[in-house]
């Protein structure tokens, strides 16, 4: 599934109240987050309490692979909500990154799990031979 | 809201040679499953394929006519193997 940004709303706008955020500062923060962990998920809600079925599914798929991953809640961070799509060029959440590269959203991660591509991609990120 | 046929013709025009199947998932005409089979996907990673399709529906997504899309993309060869 490809959840649209403002799930429940029409246009892809942040929820009210909108906080003003600085794009350059947000980009710096996101890049630091991507450098810190091999696998990073930007999602609605948290790993333990996803607030969107698509985010939940992406997390469940990643959990199946048993690799550590960082998850950031875009709903509670206006910088991420406002600027992640500008950096990634991906319009929706969740967004899954491996080794700093965007892999895709829920549909892609699920499909790569089903086709057996996800395991080797993660193994490679963690420096294992496949 | 959008008719599934509208999405199908939009994508078939924008991605020549593609076959598109659109299913209304909820009956609400805004949550869709879209399957695109296209020779244009040859040699392209899933993320590139999804970006190709997304970009053709950007206006519809941004103005809220489409709320959610489940997207599957195949080359003609992948599609044949899948049906086998």
Residues of B in contact with A1 (CB under 8 A): 68-70
B26: contact with A, CB 8 A cutoff: no
Asked, for residue A17, whether it belongs to a domain, the answer is no
Put simply, the answer to whether B50 touches A104 (Cβ < 8 Å) is yes
Nearest-by-Cβ selection for A10 from B64, B68, B69: B64
Domain interval for residue A84: 23-125
Q: Are B79 and B18 in contact (CB under 8 A)?
A: no
Put simply, the answer to whether B70 touches A103 (Cβ < 8 Å) is no
Asked, for residue A44, whether it belongs to a domain, the answer is yes
- The whole-number average pLDDT for the span B18-24 is 96
Asked, for residue A47, whether it belongs to a domain, the answer is yes
Nearest-by-Cβ selection for B47 from A7, A11, A104: A104
Asked, for residue A4, whether it belongs to a domain, the answer is no
pLDDT tens-place string over residues A9-28: 333 445 545 688 999 999 99
> At A84, which CATH number?
3.40.30.10
pLDDT tens-place string over residues A56-109: 999 999 999 999 999 999 999 999 999 999 999 998 899 999 999 999 999 999
Structural domains of chain A, count? 1
pLDDT surpasses 70 at A130 = no
Kindly provide the ipTM of the predicted complex, given to two decimals: 0.83
Q: How far is A97 from chain B (nearest CA, A)?
A: 11
The CATH code of domain B4-83 reads: 3.30.300.90
Asked, for residue A1, whether it belongs to a domain, the answer is no
Please report the DSSP string for A23-83 in residue order. Answer: HHHHHHHHHHHHHH-SEEEEESB-SSSBSSHHHHHHHHHHHHTT---EEEEGGG-HHHHHH
pLDDT surpasses 50 at B2 = yes
CA angle A128, B44, B4 (to 5 degrees): 120
Asked, for residue A111, whether it belongs to a domain, the answer is yes
């Amino acid at each position: 599934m490809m959840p649209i940004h403002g799930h429940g709303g029409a246009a892809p706008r942040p929820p009210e109240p909108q906080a003003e955020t600085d794009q350059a500062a947000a980009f710096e923060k996101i890049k630091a987050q991507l450098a810190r962990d091999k696998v990073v998920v930007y999602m609605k809600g948290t790993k333990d309490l996803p607030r969107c079925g698509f985010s939940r599914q992406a997390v469940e798929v990643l959990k199946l692979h048993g690799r550590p991953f960082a998850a950031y809640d875009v709903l509670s961070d206006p910088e991420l909500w406002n600027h992640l799509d500008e950096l990634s060029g991906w319009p929706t959440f969740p967004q899954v990154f491996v080794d700093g590269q965007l892999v895709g959203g829920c549909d892609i991660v699920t499909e790569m799990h089903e086709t057996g591509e996800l395991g080797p991609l993660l193994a490679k990120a963690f420096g294992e031979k496949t | 809201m959008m008719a599934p046929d509208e999405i199908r013709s939009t994508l078939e025009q924008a991605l020549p040679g593609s076959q598109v199947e659109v299913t209304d998932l909820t009956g609400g005409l805004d949550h869709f499953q879209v399957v695109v089979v296209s020779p244009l996907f040859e040699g392209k990673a899933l993320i590139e394929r999804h970006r190709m399709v997304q970009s053709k529906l950007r206006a519809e997504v941004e103005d809220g006519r489409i709320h959610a899309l489940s997207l599957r993309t195949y080359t003609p060869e992948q599609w044949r193997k899948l049906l086998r």
